[in-house]
Amino acid sequence: MRHVITLLVENEFGVLARIAGLFSGRGFNIECLSVAETLDPAVSTMTIVTRGDDQIIEQVLKQLNKLISIIKVVDLIDKDFVEREMILVKVLATEKTREEILRIVDIFRGKVIDVGAKTYTIEITGDEKKIDALLSLLKPLGIKELVRTGRVAMSRGSKAMTELT
Amino acid sequence: MKKTGSQIIVECLKKEGVDTLFNYPGGAVLPLFDELSSAPFHQVLVRHEQAAVHAADGYARASGKVGVVVVTSGPGATNTVTGIATAYMDSIPIVILTGQIPTSLIGNDAFQEADIVGITRPCTKHNYLVKELKDLSRILKEAFYIARSGRPGPVLVDLPKDILVDSAEFKYPEKVSIRGYRPTLEGHPGQIQRAIHLILKSKRPLLYVGGGVISSNASKELFHLSEKLGIPVTMTLMGLGGFPGNHPLSLGMLGMHGTYRANMAVMESDLLIAVGARFDDRVTGKLESFAPQARVIHIDIDPTSISKNVRVDLPIVGDCKRILSKILSLLEKEETPSFRGGLHKWHRQIESWKAIYDMNYQQEQIIKPQYVIEKMDELTGGEAILTTEVGQNQMWAAQYYKYLKPRTFLTSGGLGTMGYGLPAAIGAQVAFPNRLVIGISGDGSFQMNSQELATAVQYRLPIKVAILNNGYLGMVRQWQEFFYGKRYASSSLEGISPDFVKLAEAYGAVGLRATKPEEVVPVLKKAFSIPEPVVIDFVIDPEENVYPMVPAGEPLNQMRLV
């Protein structure tokens, strides 16, 4: 099953290597990972999307907690949460497809942020389903390049991650 | 007051109560050694950095204190890796200080540069590269705290040369505060209460105890719990000594080479109480058939150990000693004599297993290794400190010596490191200069760190190295005999090993040899009476096997007994 895990970590060199090494060394899978500083420059937040049965996920969470540079680990799958990803996609735009691409982008509330002689570069934000749906529509038209940020996620409601149990 | 980084390190080591260092110098770390030359530590110069870590590990296991290693950058640091991995797998507290090239050169492939923090990340509990002098004393304080607290383990601190040389104001941090590291020590009261309930309801309870009992110094509490309730105890390799091996409630070791009664007890038990053990594959055999009738209580300080391999009914995270003593105090309120009486049938069942098969061997014309260990046990009354290498010698030492006290059996359990025993014996002897320390060895393992005889001779450490010399990498040969059609690929050392007596003499140690059974006791007595390092070459039956044996991946009741 797919799990979205959010972490608070010490913002020091080697933390990402510790986490990546833990996943590779123990054979856990990382679907995507994003990391950036929080308001407190000494702390970073990470979102990891991983898959595994209950026993594996239990180990993932415990092993993450065991790392000394990790301050807090929350598996959002038990919570109500929102997640977003941003993608940039360069798609072929011909006489015939230009209109259709713009229509699709509009429906998905995306933006064309660059125009080439034969391409549009589109920015779009959304959850996994929305992104997948968009890509499946653009694919037949010819995707030249795709860059994804990886998921970021946050629990719903007024509690901060530090207040979750 | 301003101090150099090297002076700060010496001050921090003093504050941590360090009295002994296991050392090997080199270019990048020379500023520190220069400072150490006038420092009040007992410093042991080993002959290879791997041995420095094993010696510090032996010192730590025997004494309960943190072992400390100081080595140089590059190869000095990479040579420590096997020692560190050994300590990590067995949760042994060690702090390793490695020299490093100056911070300005890091990443430039400088002479004797190695990314030792990167290399040791997966085999240390934590590690540090000191990039700024202002962090040095905090990092050292944290390193010792992390090494010895919670589930102990090795911590490496990498020290660039400029950090050792530059000066800064020294202030020793009085407290440690690491927001990502707060080990749980006290067990959950509700879980402890439920554990007592489960225990008192059980009919065939079994205590299955591991190295956690030793590292948390919980053997006294374990002893009282077992005696009070009459619950038999089986120990993992790492747990030996945690409960007296000669006690009627001791079933000896369990697992692949465990006793018949211990393995049968696991199969028949209705309540397995795991204390400081981690359900290693060498213990469980086939997982699905492990303890099939038992509910499982698991007491361990490391949450990752719980439900990793075996489903646990009742986990209690915390320090074994505290949890066992809490259980003991709560049991005061319970009616325990009747419970104990109710275990009569279970005790009889265990006795009957013992009658069916107990550890045994036939002493013939040629020396049997089991006989050597058994005689050692008799002559020392179980009071010596034994270290082992890995393989058959390790298993016979585990099976035929009755360890009475914790911290007397030092062995590489998790990683299974050949070459561990001799340097570990050196470390244990440094910790206890007046105790009898015996390194059980094989002719193969001995040669993995035999250069350390020089260290033993230099410091006049009267260790006794007993080589069970069968001319084979014995456990490899045993597996080849059983599972690979007796094709002894690369496992024979017959006629190609050095003369171990002459080798010992070449190093300035005493060399003795026994080739007949009747020589075993006189040679042991002689060795024990010599206050110097002694190597004894026991020429043993070349094809003796370790029994019982549960083949890897089989259930525990599928034991080969002969």
- Using CA atoms, how far apart are residues B532 and A144, in angstroms rounded to an integer? 76
Q: Cα separations (Å) of B216 from B92, B138, B211, B305, B478?
A: 11, 25, 9, 16, 35
Give the phi and the psi of residue A119 in degrees, each rounded to 5. -140, 155
pLDDT tens per residue, range A144-154: 999 999 999 99
Phi and psi based region of residue B159 (left: phi greater than 0; alpha: psi -120 to 50; beta: remaining)? beta
Q: Cα separations (Å) of B360 from B206, B258, B355, B363, B396?
A: 24, 13, 12, 10, 11
pLDDT tens per residue, range B379-418: 999 999 999 999 999 999 999 999 999 999 999 999 999 9
Residues from chain A contacting residue B308 (CB–CB below 8 Å): 59
Q: Least CB-CB distance to B122: which of A21, A69, A70?
A: A21
ipTM of the complex: 0.92
- Using CA atoms, how far apart are residues B13 and B176, in angstroms rounded to an integer? 15
Residues from chain A contacting residue B118 (CB–CB below 8 Å): 14, 17
Look at B181 and A21 and tell me if their CB atoms are within 8 Å.
no
CB A153 within 8 A of CB A47: yes
The alpha-carbon gap from B341 to the nearest alpha carbon of chain A, in Å, equals: 39
DSSP tag of B492: B
Q: What is the pLDDT of residue A68?
A: 97
Amino acid at B196: I
Collapsing DSSP to helix, strand or coil, A111 comes out as: strand
Question: Tokens 């259980």 map to which residue?
Answer: B327
Q: What is the pLDDT of residue B284?
A: 95
Determine the residue of chain A that is closest to B180 in CA distance.
A71
DSSP tag of B478: H
- Using CA atoms, how far apart are residues B141 and B522, in angstroms rounded to an integer? 50
DSSP tag of B187: P
Give the phi and the psi of residue A152 in degrees, each rounded to 5. -120, 150
Q: Name the β-bridge partners of B80.
A: none
Give the phi and the psi of residue A163 in degrees, each rounded to 5. -95, -5
pLDDT tens per residue, range B440-449: 999 999 999 9
Interface with chain A: mutation pick from B124, B142, B179, B310, highest number of A CBs within 10 Å: B179
The alpha-carbon gap from B129 to the nearest alpha carbon of chain A, in Å, equals: 9
Collapsing DSSP to helix, strand or coil, B466 comes out as: strand
Q: What is the pLDDT of residue A66?
A: 97
Q: What is the pLDDT of residue A24?
A: 95
Query: Cβ of A26 under 8 Å from any chain B Cβ?
Result: no
Residue A165 has pLDDT above 90, yes or no: no
Q: What is the mean pLDDT of chain A?
A: 95
Biggest distance spanned by C-alpha atoms of chain A: 57
Query: Cβ of A39 under 8 Å from any chain B Cβ?
Result: no
Q: What is the pLDDT of residue B1?
A: 82
CB B441 within 8 A of CB B467: yes
Catalytic member of B35, B49, B268, B374? B49
Q: Cα separations (Å) of A124 from A77, A91, A150, B188, B232?
A: 24, 13, 13, 48, 65
Query: Cβ of A71 under 8 Å from any chain B Cβ?
Result: yes
Q: How confident is the model at residue A78 (pLDDT cuts 50, 70, 90)?
A: confident
Q: What is the pLDDT of residue B206?
A: 98
Residues from chain A contacting residue B307 (CB–CB below 8 Å): 55, 58
- The model carries a pTM of 0.96
Residues from chain A contacting residue B158 (CB–CB below 8 Å): none
Token duo for residue A41 = 């420059």
Cis peptide before B548 (omega within 30 of 0): yes
Q: Is B1 a catalytic residue?
A: no
CB B63 within 8 A of CB B432: yes
Q: What is the DSSP string of A38-107?
A: -SSTTEEEEEEEEE--HHHHHHHHHHHHHSTTEEEEEEGGGS-EEEEEEEEEEEE--TTTHHHHHHHHHH
- Using CA atoms, how far apart are residues B478 and B442, in angstroms rounded to an integer? 14
CA nearest to B509, candidates B494, B527, B491, B492: B527
Q: Name the β-bridge partners of B69.
A: B22, B96
- Using CA atoms, how far apart are residues B304 and B288, in angstroms rounded to an integer? 20
Give the phi and the psi of residue B300 in degrees, each rounded to 5. -160, 145
Collapsing DSSP to helix, strand or coil, B164 comes out as: helix
Look at A68 and B122 and tell me if their CB atoms are within 8 Å.
no
Give the phi and the psi of residue B460 in degrees, each rounded to 5. 50, 50
> Count of CB contacts below 8 A, A vs B?
39
CB B211 within 8 A of CB B239: yes
- Using CA atoms, how far apart are residues B40 and B317, in angstroms rounded to an integer? 39
Token duo for residue B87 = 């300590």
CA nearest to B467, candidates B443, B490, B445: B443
Q: Please give the average pLDDT of every successive group of 10 residues along chain B, which has 562 residues.
A: 96 98 98 98 98 98 98 98 98 98 97 98 98 97 98 98 97 94 97 98 98 98 98 98 98 97 98 97 94 98 94 97 98 93 97 94 94 98 97 98 98 98 98 98 98 98 98 98 97 96 98 98 98 98 97 94 88
Look at B178 and A59 and tell me if their CB atoms are within 8 Å.
no
Residues from chain B contacting residue A46 (CB–CB below 8 Å): none
Q: What is the pLDDT of residue A6?
A: 96
Query: Cβ of A94 under 8 Å from any chain B Cβ?
Result: no
Look at A71 and B117 and tell me if their CB atoms are within 8 Å.
no
Q: Least CB-CB distance to A59: which of B118, B125, B308?
A: B308
Q: What is the pLDDT of residue A164?
A: 86
